[in-house]
Amino acid sequence: MKIRPARLQHGDTVGLVNLSSPLNIESLGDKLAILDELGLKYKLGNTIQSYDGYLAGTDEERLEDFHQMIRDPEVKAVFLVKGGYGISRIIDKISYPLIEDNPKIIWGYSDITTLHTQVNEFSNVVTFHGPMLSGPEGELDPLSKKMFQQLFQPIEIQYTESISPLRTLVSGVVRGELTGGNLNRLVSTLGTKFEIDVRNKIVLIEDIGESIEQIDLSLNQLRLSRKLELAAGFVIGDFNMLSSKYNYDDVLNVIEGYIKPLNKPAVAGFKFGHCEPNIAIPLGVEAILDADDKTLRILPGVE
């Protein structure tokens, strides 16, 4: 069983770092406002304003910024404030024993998928696939904001069609640990020491800005590497900013073609990832996916 980090208390301090693409500093106010609303204090990492070309600082700077927040006893959670690209460059340099010895809430999505999968596996710690403190247009929508409450008390999340319309791709019921996230980032681990482990797990998949051909290519890579057949089930999220030539149903038809022959329960239409609302989901915890009833029940992510 994975280690669940301690829940937050009002007045706790969270650390804000950026391990990927540079942050537009003008958007920082939006990100800090929600922390104020939650009653949290914060420490800004050195990478919040760092630039090194297309990265938020050098590899060494980003690595040290993250390690410093993990070591700091005052910091109770580490929020990643930007996605983009960059974490894969330091994934082999992160001290996973340090994280296991100091289990804290780690929160973010998109490029952070690479960090989630490795912390879950090598540090044995639950992490959170959640929004970057602000939405694409600024302030988060109310439902996305509400998801931060799972950090303050152990809450079992129940995702039903009351949140968004869902579509059963493959029927059945399965229980397993949640893993996954951004499709592109999952595929980028294949053939490396940090290849995602999906055995008997329920895999989350979402992406943004990819062509239908690229999505097909990524799914085929997962098929050829046996990741699809080893998984227990699939939770399909949003695929935003697709070419106007294709729509979400076209993407689901491609996905269905790959996973239907496997007869693994699969449901699509979940609002997590590059969309609003962006429902935050703990990774590394047990969940039950009922594809017939179209529900996903997730155990709490904090102690």
Cα R_g (the chain), whole angstroms = 18
User: Residue type for 77, please?
Assistant: A
CA distance 219 to 230: 14
The DSSP line for 88-148 is GGTTTTS-HHHHHHS--EEEE-GGGHHHHHHIIIII-B-EEE---SSBTTBSPPHHHHHGG
Nearest to 197 by CA among 172, 170, 222: 222
- For β-strands 75-80 and 13-17, DSSP reports them as parallel
Whether 110 is catalytic is yes
* Two tokens, residue 60: 């060494």
- Catalytic residue, chosen from 110, 134, 188, 218, is 110
User: Residue type for 72, please?
Assistant: D
Cβ-based burial of 197 (10 A; exposed 0-12, middle 13-18, buried ≥19): middle
Question: Distances in Å between the alpha carbon of 253 and those of 227, 230, 257, 268?
Answer: 19, 21, 6, 11
CA distance 287 to 30: 32
Whether 256 is catalytic is no
- Catalytic residue, chosen from 20, 123, 144, 274, is 274
278 close to 272: Cβ distance less than 8 angstroms: yes
- Catalytic residue, chosen from 61, 177, 206, 210, is 206
Whether 274 is catalytic is yes
* Active site residue ranges: 110, 206, 274
